[in-house]
Amino acid sequence: MRTLAFTISREQSGKTVKEVLRREMGLSSHQLARLKRRPDGILLNGAPAFVTRSVEAGDVLQIEIGDPPAQAIAPLNIPLHVAYEDEDLLILDKSAGMAVHASSLTPDTPTVAGALAARWGEGFIFHPVNRLDKGTTGLMAVAKSGYIHDRLRRQLHSGEFYREYLAVARGHLKPPCGRIDLPIGRDESSAIRRCIRPDGDHAATVYETVRRTGRYSLVRLLPETGRTHQLRLHLASVGHPLEGDWLYGEGDSPLIGRPALHSHVLYLRHPITGEALRFTAPLPPDMESLLLI
């Protein structure tokens, strides 16, 4: 079980265990309640402690941040491209055709969850920090505990957790750089489709044209929000759908078997060490081939 130890400073002397866990270590009320139910969930100087107990400078407060046993996820023996891994975090370069979660609509689709069940054992709890559509390639982060997941989710859409995508869009965007700010909601005629609607959730995307060919634009996309299908729908809404986007474009493409979208850059601050981590994944060959046209 993964544990974290925290030494009480002179400035923190006199605070309660609960205050230190909530304010200094960033635990949510749900996580704190779960730790209180574990025999060794919260230790002060090696002994179980009530959260109302006061601490003194030099005391060592220790908590368990590993997950309890969970319902098994069926393991799948499929390869994963791991860009980074430590005891708290994994950065994955996802391939096309791999869903993040299993779906009753497509039960035979390989999943990141199943591949990680084979890698880590069936009892783990799956904590994807940012999700990618089945057809989207590139970088995504997976936390190894609920505590790490919560800390990283708080970073999302801030300067502490930064994502950059590359897309091959039809035509040439005018202006070549800008910001798309259009609300997104469910399309009531479809189980999966989203649409631009005035009563939808706020959604904003910054874009920049990187390269133009005769038919396409390679576009850098920076999502300011994380709505379902946001990047695909925003580009389609301004008349430049992704090549291969059967849902928001012009149907299936003979040139690429998926929406041409790639998670290119992922930057985050490690929730335990505070280290700034930056990863890049090169454009996959199927998208590169489009830019030769």
SS3 at position 98 = coil
Distance CA 164, CA 246 (A): 23
End-to-end CA distance of the chain: 53
Q: Which two tokens stand for residue 200?
A: 């939808």
CA 217 from centroid of its chain's CA atoms? 26
Q: Output the furthest CA–CA distance in the chain (Å, rounded).
A: 69
- The residue behind tokens 């779906």 is 103
Handedness of CA 76, 79, 81, 85 (dihedral sign): positive
Distance CA 190, CA 193 (A): 5
Contact criterion met (CB below 8 Å) for 128 and 100: yes
- Catalytic position from the list 133, 150, 245, 286: 133
Q: Is 133 a catalytic residue?
A: yes
Residues forming the active site: 133
